[in-house]
Amino acid sequence: MRHLLSTADLTRGEAIRILDTAAQMAATQSREIKKLPTLRGRTVVNLFFEDSTRTRISFETAAKRLSADVINFSAKGSSVSKGESLKDTALTLQAMGADAVVIRHQASGAPHTLAHAGWVDSAVVNAGDGMHQHPTQALLDAYTMRRHLTGGGTGEGQDLAGVRVAIVGDVLHSRVARSNVQLLHTLGAHVTLVAPPTLVPVGVEAWPCEVSFHLDEVLVDQRPDAVMMLRVQRERMSSAGGGFFPSPLEYTRGYGLDARRLGMLSERAIVMHPGPMNRGLEISAEAADSPRAVIVEQVANGVAVRMAVLYLLLAGDVTQDSQQDKAGQ
């Protein structure tokens, strides 16, 4: 593994390896001394062209817990707002000697370009690009599901075979949904997307999942083990924003997770949300604060998963790794 750009690139073995490494990283985070010397002397650049609080802080925490130096670069107030291109920004980072670049960009494919254009030697981690991918979010979701839904412990070495997941909401604009569908499929889970017809992307039939327009039916028929609510942006309802749904109230009635739907879930089902939540729109306060909700735990797991990704990309000599992979095949 040289870069982490998309969950579609991950094999089942690689995904399980990341999750297992994350489990060990999580174990170190319950200690009094949380910092490890592993990435001492390495530099991680957080290159954020789009606003983000939790993902950036999560990556920053992960890198610092592994003793890497962290440079935060946000587009606002930087040379990007003066019109610098991605290439020139990348060349600057290269000159500063970044070992890894964590990039969030509003354009789908920007991390791929950064990784493959030859501008930088660093490992590239996609922290969300446009409506394309957000692989570390999907990994932390899978890690959270594995902890709760596979038998005892952290579920080390296991995949998610037989786990049923419903992903509900604005699938059309969601990189979280795209990343999760691919990763969960790779790990053997059964995914159902639930969204109003206007928020289902064209070409979804090619995705390895089912699609439904009715949340109540899915909750009754599929008995999902995990319900993942996606964030809905209020501006999507105005005609300027695309007019995807007529009113927030109508969306909440059709697709919001409220107390009634919470009661329909099976005993062991968990409620997930990638954050930030719109309480009262896609998720009610009862659901968000219920004991089934693992939303805060997702944030904590995010640090462990990102530590694992940075460790696997930066700690070893990855050129030898690829040779070993080839030899092992």
Answer for which of 8, 17, 216, 258 binds another protein (CB under 8 A) is 17
d(CA 317, CA 315): 7
Give the whole-angstrom CA distance, residue 228 versus residue 108. Answer: 23
Check binding of 24 to another protein (CB under 8 A).
yes
178 annotated as belonging to a binding site for a ligand: no
Choices 30-38, 84-92, 275-283, 296-304 (CB under 8 A): range interacting with another protein: 30-38
Would you tell me how many other CB atoms lie within 10 Å of the CB of residue 193? 27
Region binding another protein by CB under 8 A among candidate stretches 24-32, 203-211, 226-234, 274-282: 24-32
In order, the DSSP letters of 200-247 are: SPTTGGGSSSEEES-HHHHHHHT--SEEEEPP--GGGGSTTTT--SS-
| C-beta of 24 vs 61, nearer to another protein | 24
Q: Name which position in 9, 29, 36, 211 contacts another protein (CB under 8 A).
A: 36
- Residue 92: count of CB within 10 angstroms of its CB: 16
In the bound state with another protein, the residue whose beta carbon lies nearer, of 25 and 287, is 25
Give the number of C-alpha atoms closer than 13 A to the C-alpha of residue 276, restricted to the C-beta side: 7
Quick one: which segment of 76-84, 197-205, 225-233, 315-323 binds another protein (CB under 8 A)?
Answer: 315-323
Which parts of 92-131 interact with another protein (CB under 8 A)? none
Total residues contacting another protein (rule CB under 8 A)? 25
**What are the beta bridge partners of residue 104?**
48
Please state the closest distance from residue 253 (CB atom) to another protein, in A: 47
The residue (of 28 and 212) whose beta carbon lies closer to another protein is 28
282, 252 in Cβ contact below 8 A? yes
Stretch that binds another protein, among 103-111, 243-251, 276-284, 305-313 (CB under 8 A): 305-313
Q: HSE on the CB side for 123, CA within 13 Å?
A: 22
The footprint of another protein on residues 131-170 (CB under 8 A) is none
Q: Does 30 bind another protein (CB under 8 A)?
A: no
Q: Are 22 and 28 in contact (CB under 8 A)?
A: no
Residue with Cβ nearer another protein (42 or 175): 42
Contacts of 148 (CB under 8 A, 6+ apart): 226, 268, 270, 294
Residue 33 or 240 having the CB closest to another protein: 33
User: Which x/- pattern, by CB under 8 A, does the window 51-90 give for another protein?
Assistant: ---------------x------------------------
- Rounded CA gap, 204 and 190, in Å? 15
Smallest gap from residue 46 Cβ to another protein (A): 22
Contact by Cβ (8 Å): 175, 131: yes
Give the residue with the Cβ less far from another protein, 22 or 226: 22
Task: State phi, psi for 133 to the nearest 5 degrees.
Answer: -145, 155
- The per-residue DSSP string of 66-92 comes to TT-EEEEEESTTSGGGGT--HHHHHHH
Residue ranges at the known binding site for carbamoyl phosphate: 54-55, 104, 134, 137, 275-276
Binding site for another protein (CB under 8 A): 13, 17, 20-21, 24-25, 27-28, 31, 33, 36-38, 66, 311-313, 315-318, 320-321, 324, 328
